[in-house]
Amino acid sequence: MAEKTTSLRHRDALASRLVQAGFLAAVVLLWYLAATRWGVNRLLLPNPVAVFDDLVDILRTGEYIDDLKVTLGELAAAFSISVTGGVTLGYLISRSPYAIRVFEPLFAAIYSIPIILFLPLFVLFFGLGPASKIALGAAISFFPIAINTIAGFGTVDRLLVTAARSMGASDYRLFRHVLLPAALPVILAGLRMGFTIALLSIIGSETLASLAGLGHRIVHLAEAMEMARMFAYIVFVIAIAAILNAVVSALEARGRWN
């Protein structure tokens, strides 16, 4: 396929955005018609206007703050743990090609099953509080981070290492000026994936077994059949997730040199 010029690519991206916006507008319109004109049960599909009102109310009164704090707190804790563990372990493993051959398939295999399956174990061990969510979030996001760190450090061009050594680079200087910058784009991609999956895992585990947090709030409202408010929170959580992911993607892009 021919390479597109930058302006053509911008135009494509803009067109995609417009289509997506149009799609959302159409969905909202259909939703409105379904709820008001076509007689869909209010217990299943609330009026979008009511949802909007509830959303405004939630934002205005700051009702969301406690749950948001819980969720973001769990996310921050889980991500810190998985970044520290994943990058450190990934670097150590990457130093030996044999270790890479032993551990990398092991990590990939574990990561291929839905680790959220183990949530009940974490709840049994840590209880229904934030600790179980943090532990699960850290456990799940560890893998893409470690796998990418191994790949990043493991595929540094050997010639660059040889050249640096020939110029007298010490171990520390080699790491700081050659290994780290070379591996950084891949590691950052891993961090972005780890962040996204940590967020999803935490919201998921709050949905399954929690006493607080945004996931739990949605479940609570569902059980109380407060449909409009639940929809409002769903919109809110999707927006928060989108914003966080956009920020993380932007940060990743800044770290790329290739």
Partner 1 sequence: MGDGMATAAAAIRVRGVSHRFGEEGEQRFVRALADTSLDVARGELMCLIGPSGCGKSTLLNVIGGLMAPSSGGVEVLGKAVAGPLPHDIAFVFQESALFPWNTVIENIELGMTFQGVAKAARAERAGRALEAVGLGEFAQHYPAQLSGGMRQRAALARALSLETPILLMDEPFGALDEQTRMILGEDLSVLLARSGRTIVFVTHSLGEAVFLADRVAVFSARPGTVKQVIAVDEPHPRKPEFVTSTKFTALRNQLYGLLHDEIRKAVLGLGEAARGEAGPA
Partner 2 sequence: MELSAAAARRSLAASPAVRYLARRPWAARLIVIALLVGLWEVAARWLVDPLFLSPPSRVVAALGTVFATRGVPAALQLTLFELTVAFAIAVAAGLVLGLAIGLQPFARRSFFPVVLLLYGMPQVTILPLFILFFGIGAASKIAFGVTHGVFPVIVTVVAGVQNLKPILLTSAPSMGASRWQIFRHVIFPHMVPSFFAGMRLGMSGVLLGVLLAELYVSIAGIGYFTTLFTQNFDPTRLLGLIGVLAAMAIALNAIVRRTEAHFARWRAG
Task: Give the total of residues touching partner 2 (CB under 8 A).
Answer: 48
Binding residues for partner 2 restricted to 210-249, rule: CB under 8 A: 215, 218-219, 222-223, 230, 234, 237-238, 241-242, 245
From the list partner 1, partner 2, none, which binds 88 (C-beta under 5 to 8 Å, kind-based)? none
Residue 93 contacts residue 105 (beta carbons within 8 Å) = no
Contacts 24+ apart (CB under 8 A), 204-211: 204/116, 205/116, 205/119, 205/122, 205/132, 205/133, 205/136, 205/137, 206/70, 206/71, 206/74, 206/133, 208/116, 208/119, 209/119, 209/120, 209/123, 209/128, 209/132, 210/128, 210/133, 211/128, 211/129
What gap in Å lies between CA 11 and CA 93, rounded to an integer? 43
Using the minimum distance from each CB to partner 1, give the nearer residue, 120 or 181: 181
Q: Going residue by residue from 162 to 191, which x/- string records binding to partner 1, judged by CB under 8 A?
A: xxxxxxxxx--x---xx--xx-x-------
For the chain, how many helices (H) and strands (E)? Answer: 11, 0
In the complex, minimum distance from the CB of residue 148 to partner 2, in angstroms, rounded to a whole number: 17
Task: Give the total of residues touching partner 1 (CB under 8 A).
Answer: 19
Binding residues for partner 1 restricted to 142-161, rule: CB under 8 A: 159-160
Residue type, 245: N
Q: Is 204 in the site for partner 2 (CB under 8 A)?
A: yes
From the list partner 1, partner 2, none, which binds 159 (C-beta under 5 to 8 Å, kind-based)? partner 1
Q: Going residue by residue from 170 to 189, which x/- string records binding to partner 2, judged by CB under 8 A?
A: --------------------
List helix spans (H) across 155-179.
158-166, 171-174
Sites of contact with partner 2 (CB under 8 A) = 1, 15-17, 19-20, 23-24, 44, 98, 101-103, 105-106, 109, 112-114, 116-121, 123-125, 162, 165, 199-200, 203-204, 207-208, 215, 218-219, 222-223, 230, 234, 237-238, 241-242, 245
